[in-house]
Amino acid sequence: MFLFFKVHCAKNSKEFQDLSKKLSDIRKCYIEIENSRGLLEEEYHQRMKTLIHAQRSCHSQMAEIEVRLRSLERRNKLLQQDNDFLTSSYKRLVHAESKSKREYFT
Q: Is residue 59 part of a domain?
A: yes
Q: Is residue 81 part of a domain?
A: no
H helix intervals, the chain: 2-105
Q: Is residue 82 part of a domain?
A: no
pTM of the shown model: 0.53
Q: Is residue 98 part of a domain?
A: no
Q: Is residue 29 part of a domain?
A: yes
Count of the separate structural domains present in the chain: 1
Its domain, for residue 28, covers 1-75
Q: Is 33 helix (H, G, I), strand (E, B) or coil?
A: helix
Q: Is residue 101 part of a domain?
A: no
Per-residue pLDDT of the chain in tens (106 residues, 90 and over written 9): 444 445 455 567 888 888 889 999 999 999 999 999 999 999 999 999 999 999 999 999 999 999 999 999 999 999 999 999 999 999 998 888 777 766 666 5
Q: Is residue 61 part of a domain?
A: yes
Distance CA 6, CA 71 (A): 96
Q: Is residue 32 part of a domain?
A: yes
Distance CA 30, CA 83 (A): 77
